[in-house]
């Protein structure tokens, strides 16, 4: 983490925001589990209430009691609860789920089928009739002979007498004639072996009793002739086994519960509800569900058979949480129904909390998308801000490195930041003030040396001239010794001013020097031969395994730096071993080392040996300590790092200059 840049740290911290949707998903799962348990408890309570209602109904409603009697069920017509969309077009494609409720008859060798479906507002009828010769009404008069369908409802009859295939009017006979019932919509279509009539009636118009009659007329040589008249209920009205006819069921929401009452044979006497059909219309639910029917449909069944139902019919109540822990989990409660001490049927109630779960997931999805948008915008803003901050910090670092040397010398003053007003700008302005003060101090030091050199040379010349004049006179031995000491001091002071002037001139020369690329190996090799000639009393040795190494800088200044190092080595060399010049590559760094045997540097002075006017070796004589200071100036100009090291065997000193990999090529 400490090695990461500011941009990557901000991006890494931004990723922590993904823990929020993860935590919300875990919370959502916990809520879904709680909803399952609450739904199970509510369904159980509702089952207890409905069981009490049905058992009271058994005691007081003989019709309901008789329906539960498996041996004496009165004739009736089962009505299915609408679960799918039904288009009134005369075709039966969408009626497939309701075939289990169809009533089938056969008369005169021809078959007919009646299917009834209902919902809270409408009653749907599908009549499929085999007819080898369809005779349509020839005129507006309905008294003639033609194929037709008659429905007997609670209080009146409806006739469907088509003139041609297509939409057909629902006609009601009154004392004043036939009138059309506009609230009824019906379509008559021909099939390969007859015809189909599909009709939709208002639920309140139907009532509770129903009968359907088919009038079959064929065309003969003598004209239309009635071939047969037959009914699905022996021409008697029978009760509709409506799923909406029981008051306790009608008070339940058909979208929340499904209730079924069976007799001992498992035949469904009453059925009501189809939970959560509304989820089919929501496209986002397909993200969570491939099958949008959370509870397996039983609307098309007329009888049930299961191990749990068998136990309920034996008097053992069953409570189940089906698919527990999943989105499709639902509660199923089976209760036996008693007539006194005798079990005569069972009640099944089912309910699911899937709607509430989907609401939760929809909310979670919306929150996730909103958070994702917010996160993207935030990360983009943070990234741009961090990128800008990183750029400015890097620029500040670079100009600071260029402005100040390792010795604290100022190359140039850092400019103030005027475009921003933040912490980085404050830091930049602080560095600007600091470099300005250092520049002023450095200029003062340079001018001080020049002033001292100018102001002191004349007094020193006068002193030396006066001392020379005094030496002409005959002096006593004590006076001559004192005169010699004064002359030595004056000479050393003049030498010191010369060295200071030399250091100042070298600093100015370094500032104005131009850089080019030169080969270090050949230069040091040539210098080694020259040093052996200049100092024949000393031995010199050059060691390297490199053929060519190039650095960027000034050739003349580099030679001057090596001269200072060699002069320093010669001054302190005890001649026991050669003065060694070593050029090598070590750990991706270029290392140049000048080593001699002789006086060592005190450990505490190893870092300050390169300071101006500093000498830390014993027996340094008249050495002023300017050589290593000037060498360090030149080394820094060439991007090198210079240090002093005592030999491990306590027998000398090595001056080592190293360059990073980016400052040399080989």
Least confident segment among 292-306, 456-470, 635-649: 292-306
The bridge status of strand 238-241 relative to strand 257-263 is unpaired
The whole-number average pLDDT for the span 493-518 is 74
| d(C-alpha 24, C-alpha 651), whole Å | 73
Last residue of a domain, one of 512, 538, 560: 512
pLDDT at 1: 46
pLDDT at 278 over 60: no
> Are 231 and 270 in a shared domain?
no
Task: Say if CB 159 and CB 149 are below 8 A apart.
Answer: yes
Task: Say if CB 260 and CB 347 are below 8 A apart.
Answer: yes
- What proportion of the chain, given as a percentage, has pLDDT over 70? 82
pLDDT at 622: 47
**pLDDT tens string 279-298:** 655 656 666 666 555 565 55
pLDDT at 541: 93
Q: Identify which of 532, 386, 546, 294 has the alpha carbon closest to the alpha carbon of residue 11.
A: 386
Helix or strand or coil: residue 222? coil
> Are 93 and 221 in a shared domain?
yes
| d(C-alpha 357, C-alpha 31), whole Å | 8
pLDDT at 124: 95
Helix or strand or coil: residue 582? strand
| d(C-alpha 414, C-alpha 403), whole Å | 7
Last residue of a domain, one of 241, 276, 292: 241
pTM of the complete model beyond 0.75: no
> Are 88 and 233 in a shared domain?
yes
Write out the two tokens for 564. Answer: 């200072």
> Are 350 and 253 in a shared domain?
yes
Q: Is residue 195 part of a domain?
A: yes
For residue 507, what are the domain limits? 407-512
> Are 261 and 347 in a shared domain?
yes
Highest mean pLDDT among 63-72, 92-101, 513-522: 513-522
Q: Is residue 439 part of a domain?
A: yes
Helix (H) or strand (E) segment spanning residue 426: helix 423-470
Task: Say if CB 241 and CB 121 are below 8 A apart.
Answer: no
Q: Is residue 422 part of a domain?
A: yes
- What proportion of the chain, given as a percentage, has pLDDT over 90? 20
pLDDT at 621: 47
pLDDT at 494: 73
> Are 524 and 446 in a shared domain?
no
| d(C-alpha 44, C-alpha 50), whole Å | 10
pLDDT at 519: 92
For the chain, what's the residue count? 666
| d(C-alpha 121, C-alpha 200), whole Å | 10
pLDDT bracket for residue 300 (50, 70, 90): very low
Q: Which residue has the higher pLDDT, 85 or 189?
A: 189
Helix or strand or coil: residue 405? coil
Q: Identify which of 81, 50, 84 has the alpha carbon closest to the alpha carbon of residue 273.
A: 81
Work out the angle at residue 69's Cα, subtended by the Cα atoms of residues 67 and 74, and round it to the nearest 5 degrees.
50
Last residue of a domain, one of 189, 220, 241: 241
> Are 497 and 634 in a shared domain?
no
| d(C-alpha 188, C-alpha 167), whole Å | 6
What is the number of other CB atoms lying within 10 angstroms of the CB of residue 631?
24
Total domain count, the chain: 4
| d(C-alpha 116, C-alpha 125), whole Å | 5
Q: Is residue 625 part of a domain?
A: yes
Mean pLDDT rounded to a whole number for the chain: 80
**pLDDT tens string 364-392:** 778 878 888 887 887 788 778 778 878 88
Task: Spell out the long-range contacts of 406-413 with Cβ–Cβ below 8 A and sequence spacing 24 or more.
Answer: 406/636, 406/641, 407/632, 407/633, 407/636, 408/438, 409/442, 409/507, 410/435, 410/438, 410/439, 410/442, 411/511, 413/439
Q: Is residue 281 part of a domain?
A: yes
> Are 623 and 596 in a shared domain?
yes
Q: Is residue 393 part of a domain?
A: no
pLDDT at 299: 47
**pLDDT tens string 114-129:** 999 988 889 999 999 9
Q: Tokens 């709680």 correspond to what residue?
A: 34
CATH of residue 622: 3.30.565.10
| d(C-alpha 582, C-alpha 592), whole Å | 6
pLDDT at 327: 75
CATH of residue 107: 2.60.40.1190
Q: Is residue 368 part of a domain?
A: no
**pLDDT tens string 556-610:** 889 989 998 998 899 888 888 899 999 999 888 999 999 999 888 888 777 778 7
> Are 552 and 433 in a shared domain?
no
Task: Say if CB 538 and CB 579 are below 8 A apart.
Answer: yes
CATH of residue 466: 1.10.287
Taken in order 289, 294, 298, 299, is the CA torsion positive or negative? negative
> Are 237 and 109 in a shared domain?
yes
Q: Identify which of 205, 217, 248 has the alpha carbon closest to the alpha carbon of residue 51.
A: 248
Give how far Cα 519 sits from Cα of 388, 530, 558, 584, Å.
40, 17, 11, 14
**pLDDT tens string 130-175:** 998 999 998 877 778 899 999 998 878 899 999 999 999 999 887 7
Q: Is residue 324 part of a domain?
A: yes
> Are 54 and 84 in a shared domain?
no
The whole-number average pLDDT for the span 349-367 is 80
The whole-angstrom distance between residue 230's C-alpha and the CA centroid of its chain comes to 70
**pLDDT tens string 203-258:** 888 888 899 999 999 988 888 888 888 888 888 888 787 655 555 555 566 567 78
> Are 235 and 225 in a shared domain?
yes
CATH of residue 312: 3.30.450.20
């Amino acid at each position: 983490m400490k090695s990461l840049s500011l941009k990557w740290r901000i991006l890494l911290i931004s990723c922590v925001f993904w823990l929020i949707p993860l935590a919300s998903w875990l919370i959502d799962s916990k809520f879904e589990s709680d909803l399952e348990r609450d739904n199970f408890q509510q369904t159980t309570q509702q089952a207890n209430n409905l069981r009490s209602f049905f058992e009271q109904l058994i005691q007081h409603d003989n019709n309901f009691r008789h329906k539960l009697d498996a041996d004496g069920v009165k004739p009736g017509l089962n009505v299915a609860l609408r679960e799918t969309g039904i288009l009134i077009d005369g075709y039966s494609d969408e009626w497939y789920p309701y075939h289990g409720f169809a009533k089938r008859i056969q008369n005169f060798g021809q078959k007919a089928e009646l299917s009834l479906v209902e919902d809270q507002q409408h009653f749907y009828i599908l009549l499929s009739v085999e007819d080898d010769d369809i005779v349509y009404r020839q005129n507006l008069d309905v008294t003639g002979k033609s194929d037709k369908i008659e429905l007997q409802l609670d209080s009146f009859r409806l006739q469907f007498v088509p003139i041609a295939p297509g939409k057909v009017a629902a006609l009601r006979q009154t004392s004043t004639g036939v009138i059309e019932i506009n609230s009824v919509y019906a379509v008559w279509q021909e099939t390969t072996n007859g015809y189909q009539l599909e009709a939709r009636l208002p639920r309140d118009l139907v009532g509770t009793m129903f009968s359907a009659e088919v009038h079959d007329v064929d065309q003969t040589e003598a004209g239309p002739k009635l071939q047969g008249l037959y009914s699905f209920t022996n021409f008697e009205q029978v009760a509709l086994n409506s799923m909406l006819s029981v008051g306790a069921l009608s008070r339940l929401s058909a979208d929340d519960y499904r209730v079924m009452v069976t007799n001992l044979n498992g035949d469904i006497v009453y059925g009501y509800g189809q939970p959560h059909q509304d989820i089919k219309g929501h496209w986002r639910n397909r993200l969570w569900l491939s099958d949008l029917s959370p509870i397996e449909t039983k609307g098309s069944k007329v009888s049930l058979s299961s191990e749990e139902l068998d136990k309920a019919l034996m008097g053992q109540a069953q409570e189940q949480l089906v698919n527990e822990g999943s989105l499709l989990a639902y509660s199923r409660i089976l209760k036996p129904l008693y007539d006194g001490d005798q079990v005569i049927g069972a009640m099944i109630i089912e309910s699911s909390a899937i709607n509430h779960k989907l609401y939760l997931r929809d909310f979670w999805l919306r929150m996730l998308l909103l958070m994702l948008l917010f996160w993207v915008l935030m990360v983009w803003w943070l990234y741009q801000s961090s990128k800008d901050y990183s750029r400015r910090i890097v620029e500040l670092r670079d100009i600071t490195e260029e402005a100040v040397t390792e010795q604290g010398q100022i190359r140039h003053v850092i400019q103030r930041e005027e475009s921003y007003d933040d912490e980085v700008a404050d830091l930049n302005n602080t560095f600007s003030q600091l470099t300005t003060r250092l520049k002023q101090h450095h200029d003062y030091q340079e001018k001080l040396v020049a002033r001292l050199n100018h102001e002191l040379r004349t007094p020193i010349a006068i002193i030396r001239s006066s001392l020379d004049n005094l030496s002409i006179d005959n002096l006593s031995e004590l006076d001559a010794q004192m005169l010699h000491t004064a002359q030595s001091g004056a000479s050393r002071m003049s030498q010191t001013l010369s060295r200071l002037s030399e250091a100042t001139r070298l600093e100015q020369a370094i500032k104005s020097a131009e850089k080019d690329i030169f080969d270090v190996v050949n230069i040091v090799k040539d210098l080694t031969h020259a040093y052996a000639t200049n100092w024949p009393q000393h031995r010199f040795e050059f060691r390297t395994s490199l053929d060519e190494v190039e650095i960027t800088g000034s050739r003349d200044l580099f030679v001057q730096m090596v001269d200072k190092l060699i002069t320093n080595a010669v001054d302190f060399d005890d001649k026991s071993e050669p003065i060694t010049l070593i050029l090598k590559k070590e750990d991706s760094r270029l290392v140049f080392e000048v080593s001699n045997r002789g006086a060592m540097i005190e450990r505490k002075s190893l870092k300050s040996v390169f300071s101006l006017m500093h000498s830390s070796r014993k027996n340094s004589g008249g050495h002023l300590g300017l050589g290593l200071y000037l060498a360090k100036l030149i080394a820094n100009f060439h991007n090198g790092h210079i240090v002093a090291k005592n030999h491990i065997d306590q027998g000398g000193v090595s001056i080592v200059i190293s360059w990073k990999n980016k400052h040399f090529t080989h």
